[in-house]
Structure 1
Amino acid sequence: MPVLEIADPAATTLGPLKIEVTFPDNRAAVVDWTREPQQRLLRALAAELAASCAVGQGTGSPYTLRNRARSCREWARWIASTEDVDLRVSDLLPSHLDRFEDHLRERHPESSRTPYARIADIVWILRRLSDTHGGFSPALVRRLAYISAGPVGSYTPRDAYSPHVVEQLKAAARSDVDRAIRRLTVEGPSLLSRGQDPRVAGWASDANVVWEIHQKRGQFTRQELADQVGQTVADEHSPGRLAPLLYPTTRDLFALLLLFCLESGMEVEAARELTAGCLKNPNRGYVQVEYLKRRRHGQEWNTIRVRDGSSHSPGGLLRLALRLTASVREITGSPALWQFRTKEGSLTTGLSASAVTYLAKAFVYRHGISDAGQPVELRMSRLRKTYKAAVYKVTGGRMSAFVQGHSPDIAAAHYADIPSLRDLHEQAVADGLHDALNEARSPSVLTPEAEERLLQRPAEAPELLGVSPTEAGSLLSGESDLWLSSCRDFFDSPFGVKGKACPVSFFGCLGCGNAVITRRKLPAILAFLNHIEGERAKMPEAEWAERFGGARQQILRLVLPKFSESDVLSAQAVAESADPLLFLPSILFGGH
């Protein structure tokens, strides 16, 4: 709650004047005007500014509070330089605003927005005071009807990044994410499983040091290791190098955050504050994302509905973040989504705005992102504009027929990739077609390349899938999704009577010619494979083979080999966002 320290209003001498605010998300800010001039005026402004920090009252973040406090402080200092007495709000005249604005415009270039912004802050607070307390002169009330009589200053609107730049951003981020997935779900756990207590087995082993890092819950540093066994061993088996095998780094999370903003269009300030419980109501290939938008006063909590399933979808990216940050969240107990281990060994529960700005610069430098031969200035605030521009191109082009039956928001979330951008996170664009063991009784497995081909050339749907372009749109968009696949016609099942719903169980899709399996269904298929192996220990082998053997063989021999190792690992990480997989078949990693 906002706290304002001021003296008793009846006192003749004003006491300390300080605003201490803790916002609903526990971010704190302090504004100290103890030594500023014009204490009577500032006391009234401070009381109203503190009140505006309550939920829905207009000052929703430390950043906004500090900006408005700075405007008031500059105004008070200017008044002190022009007046011989301490003013009360009832003493204010229109000239106190107009002359201050003239003063600001003399100090700043003609193109600067600063004079307008400062006056806008002061007018905003005075309007609140006028509404709640009154006491202003009629002339000042009339003056508060507008903000400024002068120009706002030149302003260049944020522009979208070009497809060439977006292609580089997505490719670089995807490579960082793929490395993080392999490191945190394969390499790190594998090394940890071989580790032993270094006090018994010795410290000169990466596996044993990783074991110790895990036992210390990530908070084991190079200096602590050096204190025990010397600098040489600490340099060779540094916890700073090994801890990222168990805990995500800022580099990992920034890549996920960048991809999520590019794919969903969510404002970066809202995306940074997502929590582990942000995914709501998954249904038919979509999921709702609950987020906090502080600028929407009175309606801060909102949801957007986005595509889900594939690790390239907004929902899948958040599930990847949930999986990769699970180890840190378990230790900290914080619901924040973007949690990581710092190089110094501490566990941190959020990405600040300044950290994201720094990481954006480092990301561009590390990957050599350039435009017209010059390094790109990566501003996260431009990602939403970039997303919107892509949506405009898609819905204005030949793929617009695919958005029929969807709201604009859902169409934007699913069709944001135009041809020039799609190449970014699709490793290759090539023809792909289902390879059924038995065409009449086996599902069609649509590779990412074949799926892209259908998106670009829907007229080929009859040849590739045996359905019309309109029906192909339903299969690719998720409208026809069941749990493990999409269905060409749920009321024309080869196992039932035409016109009636399919009578077989959900995993019957794995042996049905009506089924179409795409990359977005991989997480569900891997989760089902995990369930199959869990059931194996609960029933006789013959009964298990009769019930699940066929489905298992379809998954391992027909479905998984059609997808790249990167796609399968990403899907595995998404599937593990709720429960770790018990069964990791060797086929996932290139074995036999």
Structure 2
Amino acid sequence: MSERHGRTSRHTLDPTAYRCTTLAAQLADEAVEYVRKMALSDDGGSYLGAVRKFAAFADRQLGDAAGTARLDDDRIDLPEVIHEWETALRQEYGLRSSQPYRLVSIVLVLIAQRGDRDQAVPERLRRRAAAPPIFPAPKSTPLDEFSNAERIDLRDATRSRVRELEERLDHGRLLLEEGRDPREYGWRELPSLLLTTAALEENLPRKPKWWPADLREAGFGRRALVTAAGGMLFPTEIDLMAFRVLLLLGMVDTTPEELLYLQLPDIEDTGEGVRVVQRKARARRVRADLHPAAEGGRAWDVPGLLRRLLAATAETRETFPAAAPWLFLAAELNHRTGRLEARPATFTRGGRRFTHWIATQDDGVGRPLSISLPHDARRLRKTAKTARAAALGGTVSDLAGDDHHVEVFRGHYAHGTTAHLMAGRTIARAQQWVFQRALDRPLVIDAEAEKQLTEPETAKAAGLSADQARDMLAGQLDMGLTHCRDPYDSPFTTGGRPCHVAPAMCMLCRNAVVFTSQLPRLLMLADHIETMRARLEPPRWQALWGRQAAALAELFTEYAEHIPTARQEIEDQRLTLHLPLGLRTEYEQ
């Protein structure tokens, strides 16, 4: 049994419902054991679901022989059954679905667990359980953020819907004040019907055409009337979508999951803002964020939005006191009972998703709201994070924010259009600064001069101090592609700090010193830059790599007699290029 967002789910599996009764029972026992051992948050719902799926397939595949199937017996070739099941799942769910991989992985984990403690499990089945599914999980395309124009359109549309909702609820409350007990004054006045909806079925005229005009306008049919009357007092789930969008755009470090699971005790007014305790189920993380009030106490900042949301749902909480204190609490018609009920919004039920809400909006002048696909709420979070990064300056650490490591950010956020554009502009500015300050080319020292660098006269002739020459020969000033006269005297870094642009800018730096023994590295860098030409759009490649490519080409032309030897060295020693992770992060995305 598990509870998720106010709903309790019971997970059961009856082995006798399958002809492979023993196999189903064994896998079910392993599922229960695994869920308890790993303390999984869904209490085994997904694991028992996978067992049910596999047991049903085994029944169909094995026919009358299914009764003899079990994990500790090799009379049935279970690895072959698993193989056929994987193929059938692939056909059932399609090539782009991750369900086949997930289901098969679960069953293999359960079999492997059984094999660890039961020596009777056949060796062939153990080996199959230790191997991955034959079809890997499909790689999903990372979501891009909404454009700034789309963000503004969404912001304006949601603010309009919030105002309309507040006006509707205010009108409903005024009508409620005018209402009189319908049992005494009749069932044909709309203000009176707002007092109760439970007895409409018995007391309204059977046919809507006999209703007064204002009732017919409110809703055609008893259930439609109940819905319309309830909508004058209580926000529906689709009404709450506007608050959800605005909060996701404003609470930069809050995920849709964390926002959905907020309850009233999680929100504390500190006088200077609101303190929100957030829970992320997948990461099993609880944290508190303080959202300060904007200067002047704007109604559209996070504290203002939360106050307006609580005011909009106050009547719902008062009318349905037994409802759990979820922040997003909606009142909607229960079609089975015909009555209004309060329930937490999930924004996943039919007609209540983000995409359904967008489909009903306009741009303020009557045209449908044009928002790029997919209509995924996670894109709102990415939009908010990139908007913040633009304000902070656009570095990788700014983009990652406080709730991500840089590597996590690279995998989930750095692919975004805004991040690419900002990174490109940042790199272009940095390179322009470099080009303005790097007035000299790198110094090249051939093999004969390199051998004589230990002599003070030779080092001085090359523009090096004796200490610099000695450290270069010892490899202490090796920056990865070239040597450097002094990494703490970089023309690109102020304040005596170590150079932070090496080795990306070494070929454009007057401090760089190239030994001919380093030519293989530079040749491999040139090859890498040409590879990037095929991967990047021409303007972006030129901005990131054009100057380096030109500098390398000039160097190779000037020292052409050394190039064949360097190429042969790469081939003979099977050399590979090792670039720092930071260089790949900034220059290859």
TM-score range, shorter chain: 0.5 to 0.7
- The residue type equivalent to 2:238 in the other structure is R
The offset of 1:42, in angstroms, is: 0.8
Question: Which of 228, 233, 247 is 1:260 aligned to?
Answer: 247
The structure-2 alpha-carbon separation of the partners of 1:128 and 1:187, relative to structure 1 and needing over 3 Å to count, comes to farther
Name the residue aligned to 1:243: 230
Corresponding letter in the other structure for 2:179: G
Whichever residue aligns with residue 348 of structure 2, its letter is S
Contact kept, 8 Å, 2:146 with 2:379, in 1: the verdict is: yes
Kindly indicate whether the alpha-carbon contact (under 8 Å) linking 2:358 and 2:369 is maintained by their aligned counterparts in 1: no
Paired residue type of 1:27 = T
SS in 2 for 1:153: coil
Alignment of 1:298-309 (within 5 A): 299=284, 302-309=286-293
Which string of whole-angstrom CA distances, capped at 9 and with x for unpartnered residues, describes residues 241-278 of structure 1? 33322222223212222322333253334433332222
Give 1:196's aligned residue: 180
SS of alignment partner, residue 136 of structure 1: coil
- Show the counterpart of 1:124: 109
Matched with 1:333 is: 322
Once the two structures are TM-superposed, the CA of residue 356 in structure 1 deviates from its matched residue by: 6.9
1:380-416 C-alpha deviation (Å, 9 max, x unpaired): 3443343344344443349x99x9xx9568xxxxxx9
Kept in 1, the 8 Å contact 2:359–2:368? The answer is: no
The residue correspondences of 1:396-545 to structure 2 (distance < 5 A) are 396-397=393-394, 407=402
Deviations 1:546-581 (A, max 9, x none): xxxxxxxxxxxxxxxxxxxxxxxxxxxxxxxxxxxx
**What does the per-residue CA deviation read over 1:420-460, in whole Å, with 9 as the maximum and x for residues that have no partner?**
9xxxxxxxxxxxxxxxxxxxxxxxxxxxxxxxxxxxxxxxx
Q: 2:111, 2:126 within 8 Å by CA — same for their partners in 1?
A: no
The residue that corresponds to 1:225 in the other structure is 204
- Confirm whether residue 46 of structure 1 aligns to residue 28 of structure 2: yes
Contact between 2:6 and 2:344, CA under 8 Å: does it hold in 1?
no
Contact 1:307 1:314 in 2 (8 A): yes
Q: What is aligned with 1:347? A: 341
CA distance in structure 1 between the partners assigned to 2:249 and 2:81 by the alignment? 46
Kindly state the Cα deviation for residue 60 of structure 1 after the two structures are TM-superposed: 1.2
CA contact (8 A) 2:105 2:132 kept: yes
Q: Which runs of structure 2 are paired with 1:356-367 in the superposition (5 Å)? A: 358-367=352-361
| Post-superposition offset of 1:40 | 0.7
- 8 Å CA contact 1:266–1:384 kept in 2: the answer is yes
Q: State the distance in 1 between where 2:161 and 2:374 align.
A: 19
Distance 2:118 2:3 in 1: 25
Contact 2:240/2:328, CA 8 A, preserved across alignment: yes
After superposition, what is the alpha-carbon deviation per residue over 1:155-209, rounded to whole angstroms, capped at 9, x for unaligned?
322332222333222222221112222332x323333333333455565544x32
**Cα distance, 1:141 vs structure 2:** 4.0
Distance 1:71 1:407, change over 3 A: same
> Is the Cα–Cα contact under 8 Å of residues 264 and 327 in structure 2 kept in the other structure?
yes
Structure 1 residues 69, 150: closer, same or farther in 2, change over 3 A? Answer: closer
Which one of 383, 386, 390 corresponds to residue 387 of structure 2?
390
Q: Percent identity?
A: 21
- Match for residue 9 of structure 2 among 9, 28, 35: 28
Kindly report which structure 2 residues correspond to 1:281-300, keeping only aligned pairs within 5 A, or say none. 282=270, 284-291=272-279, 293-296=280-283, 299=284
Decide which of 162, 168, 189 is 1:183's aligned counterpart: 168
Q: CA deviation at 1:305?
A: 0.7
Letter in 1 for 2:27: L
- Is contact 2:268–2:275 with CA below 8 Å preserved after alignment? yes
Distance in 1, Cα, partners of 2:149 & 2:40: 39
RMSD: 4.3
Q: Which 5+ residue runs of structure 2 have no aligned equivalent?
A: 219-224, 405-412, 419-589
SS of the residue corresponding to residue 346 of structure 1 reads strand
The total of aligned residue pairs comes to 379
Q: Kindly provide the amino acid, as one letter, of the partner of residue 260 in structure 1.
A: L
Which residues of 2 match residues 84-123 of structure 1 at below 5 A?
A: 85-91=67-73, 94-98=79-83, 100-102=85-87, 104-105=89-90, 110-123=95-108
CA distance in 2, matches of 1:327, 1:120: 47
Shift in CA distance, 36/358, structure 1 to aligned 2, threshold 3 Å: farther
- Normalising by the residue count of structure 2, what TM-score does the alignment of the two structures yield? 0.54
- State the TM-score, normalized to the length of structure 1: 0.53
TM-fit CA distance, 1:112: 4.6
Residues 51 and 57 of structure 1 are in contact (CA less than 8 Å); yes or no, is this contact kept in structure 2?
no
Q: 1:194 to 1:275 in 2, by over 3 A?
A: same
Alpha carbons 2:22, 2:67 under 8 Å: kept: no
Alignment of 1:260-279 (within 5 A): 260-264=247-251, 265-279=253-267
Higher Rg of the two aligned structures: 2
Point out where structure 1 has 5 or more consecutive residues left out of the alignment: 2-20, 410-415, 421-592
2-side partners of 1:366 and 1:28: how far apart?
Answer: 33
**Shift in Å, 1:367:** 0.5
Q: Which has the higher contact order (CA 8 A, sep 6+)?
A: 1
Report the Cα distance in structure 1 between the residues aligned to 2:263 and 2:96, rounded to whole angstroms: 40
Which of residues 165, 171, 175 in structure 1 aligns to 2:156? Answer: 171
Partner of 1:458: none
